[in-house]
Structure formats: C-alpha cells, structure tokens
Amino acid sequence: MLDTVQPLDQLSIAAEEFFRLAPPVIIDRNKSIVFEIACPPDARHDGIIEYTRWPKMALPEDFDGFDPGVYTESRSGFYDYERLLPHSVEWHVNFADPHLFVSYGGPLMAQDEIMAAEHPVLGALVEYLGLKKMEARTLKRPGEPTPVLVVGAERRCHLDTRPNDAEGRPEGLYGNLFAHAPAEAVRRAVKPITHPEKSNIIAISAPMGGHGPYTRHDIEVILTTAYSGYKAAELETTRLWDEGVPAVIHTGYWGCGAFGGNRELMAILQVFAAHLAGVDHVVFHGGNVAGVEIFRRAMKKLPDFFPERPSEGLTNRFIDAVTAHGFRWGVSDGN
C-alpha cells in the first residue's frame, strides 16, 4: 500500500547542531548582508529539524470528485506565512532546482533563494548533507522526482524584493537584480523577525525547457512530481502530528518563472495533485491581481477535465483530457 512508502533519507537533528557542524557558506556580498541580519553573532537556533527525502510515488488510478472553489483559496501576494487554520499543519512549496537549495549562498534571488535567505538553516542543511555525503537532490533523473521535506525551519527575517524608489530599489531585488543592488538598499529590505516562526517546506523541481504544446509525458511528469511531494507532506503530517490533523499546501506558479511553465496548467495540476494526495486545502499565492485571476480561471476550467462516472482509470483519463486541451509552454523570465 502507498502509506507504507518510506523516505530514501531521514534526519532528525537540532538546528543548533546544523550551524555548529556545517554553517552556511555565503559567497555573495548582498546575501551576506541578509544572513548577518537574520543570524547575528548571538543568535540561537531553536528546535529540531526533521529532514526527509522521498521516492517517486505512483499516481492513484482513480479519484473522488471535488469542488476546486471550495478546496482552494487564492491570495494576491507572495508567501506571507500566515496560517490558514489554527490547528492545521501548513506546508510551503519551494520551487526547487534539481540540486537542493543550490544557489542559497550565491548572487541569485528567485523564489528558491528567497526562502533559503529567510530560513538560514536551509543553507546549513545543505552543507551538513555534503559533510555526511548524502545526496542533496530533488530529482534523481529526468522524470524521477525525489521530493525533499524540511519540518521546523526557523524563518528569521523577511526580505522585501518589491520595487521601492524611496528605499533605493526602483526595480526591486528579485532574480538577477539582487546581486547588483546597493548594499544599503539590501539592508533596508531585510527585517529581522524577533521571535522566529517555524516553517514546513516541500522542495520539488519542475520540468524545464519545454516548447510548443505539452505532451502527455510532460503532464504526467508534472502531476507525479507534485503528487509525490504533496503525498509525502500528508504522510509526514500524520507521522509527526496525528492522523486527522489537516494538512494545508501553500504554493504558487511553480515552474512558471525561469522554467517557462504555463500558469493555468501548473495551477490545475498542482491542485489536482494535492487532492489525489489527500491534502485538506490549497492556498495559492498568485503574486498579484492578474495572477489571482489566472488561477481563478484555471479552477473554473479544472472540472472540465474530470471524466464522467462510472468508469475506471479516471486519473489516466484526466491526463488524456488535459493533454487534448493543448496547453502550451511559455518562455523563461530570465531569472
């Protein structure tokens, strides 16, 4: 049975130990500023980090119908780490590179790196995995995801990458702009969190570099990758908390920046994957009003791909219907 799936790798270690044994290696000047604000010399790192890396999981053959309008919530900004439900376990998707948090110490500042900058223990985790000669990858080979989950990572600062003329960042700090920004502008964009919050993270890598219409193989790989990460989160929620505790996924336009994914399609497949995985609710962060509108349009379209009952092999028929729609790849945003 699926619920007997075990992680490929598993660690449970005090955050303080990560920093003592394998401190983050920051090579970019502006990243060093963020790290110094988040982790001053007297900083203490609280709690136990639960790290797991999971195998690819087979999609269920069938599924129950659901109403995307009830199952999902959309927000116009990016991750704010506000809870949806008071007694739920909230998970945030990291739009990962195949190499886990690969640019956490370098000049880039896209979604993956923003999360790593705000949660400095993620850099220490990467260094610790290297020290122990453990494989730090979210993708074993093309089409074979190995999602990584991190539970209990302290969020020690907030980094504002939005444009702000008054604070010296007229074009913002996102992506490649970050490395070239004046040091003082970076400093003004970082706010330390006095009482650090704890985040739970799902690192999954989206397919990249496609063009033209999505193939059936493309769609199945995306759906399987999201499902494997979300099912792992549902299993970890049960293991670390209790059966019946709601699991909530926070995500956004995963794979739609540098990788050029189609926004409508990536929203549809993520929400459907979360439903297949038994997740209780999805919060979709659209970035802006236009992004929220695209998500809402996608959710209206999603039920059109549900096969009529009674039948078998519903998931395969769903994939066939999505393929037949003719969604097309977009283009990279250069970040």
With 80 as the cut, is the pLDDT of residue 209 above it?
A: no
**263-277 vs 289-301: helix axis angle to the nearest 10?**
60
What is the span of the domain harbouring residue 26? Answer: 2-325
pLDDT of the residue at 310:
60
With 60 as the cut, is the pLDDT of residue 318 above it?
A: yes
Helical spans, DSSP H, in the chain: 15-21, 29-38, 68-71, 111-118, 121-131, 177-180, 183-189, 216-240, 263-277, 289-301, 314-325
Is residue 187 included in any domain, yes or no?
A: yes
> Cβ of 27: how many Cβ atoms within 10 Å?
9
Give the span between the Cα atoms of 181 and 172, in whole angstroms.
Answer: 9
Mean pLDDT of 165-172: 95
> Cβ of 40: how many Cβ atoms within 10 Å?
10
Is residue 24 included in any domain, yes or no?
A: yes
State what percent of residues in the chain have pLDDT above 90.
86
Is residue 96 included in any domain, yes or no?
A: yes
**Per-residue three-class SS string for 95-136:** ECCCECCCCCCCCCECHHHHHHHHCCHHHHHHHHHHHCCCCC
Contact 276, 319 (CB under 8 A): no
Is residue 48 included in any domain, yes or no?
A: yes
Work out whether the CA dihedral 8, 234, 258, 131 comes out positive or negative. negative
Is residue 79 included in any domain, yes or no?
A: yes
28: confidence class by pLDDT, cuts 50, 70, 90: very high
Closest CA to 189 of 201, 177, 199, 200: 177
Mean pLDDT of 84-108: 94
Q: What is the mean pLDDT of the chain?
A: 93
Token pair of 118, please? 């705000």
Mean pLDDT of 206-220: 91
pLDDT of the residue at 294:
96
For residue 192, what are the β-bridge partners? 157
CATH of the domain at 178: 3.40.220.10
pLDDT of the residue at 259:
85
Helical spans, DSSP H, in 148-215: 177-180, 183-189
For residue 52, what are the β-bridge partners? 10, 149
Mean pLDDT of 271-285: 96
Contact 327, 223 (CB under 8 A): no
CB within 8 A of 112, min separation 6: which ones? Answer: 94, 95, 96, 97, 101, 102, 103, 104
Is residue 163 included in any domain, yes or no?
A: yes
Mean pLDDT of 221-249: 95
Mean pLDDT of 238-248: 91
| 195 HSE (CA, 13 A, CB side) | 0
334: confidence class by pLDDT, cuts 50, 70, 90: low
pTM score of the predicted model: 0.95
Is residue 333 included in any domain, yes or no?
A: no
Number of domains in the chain: 1
With 70 as the cut, is the pLDDT of residue 309 above it?
A: no
With 50 as the cut, is the pLDDT of residue 1 above it?
A: no
pLDDT digits (tens, 9 = 90+) for 42-94: 999 999 999 999 999 999 999 988 899 889 999 998 999 988 888 899 999 99
290: confidence class by pLDDT, cuts 50, 70, 90: very high
Is residue 296 included in any domain, yes or no?
A: yes
Mean pLDDT of 193-206: 95
Closest CA to 318 of 61, 120, 133: 61
Mean pLDDT highest for which of 127-131, 209-213, 240-244?
A: 127-131
pLDDT of the residue at 332:
77
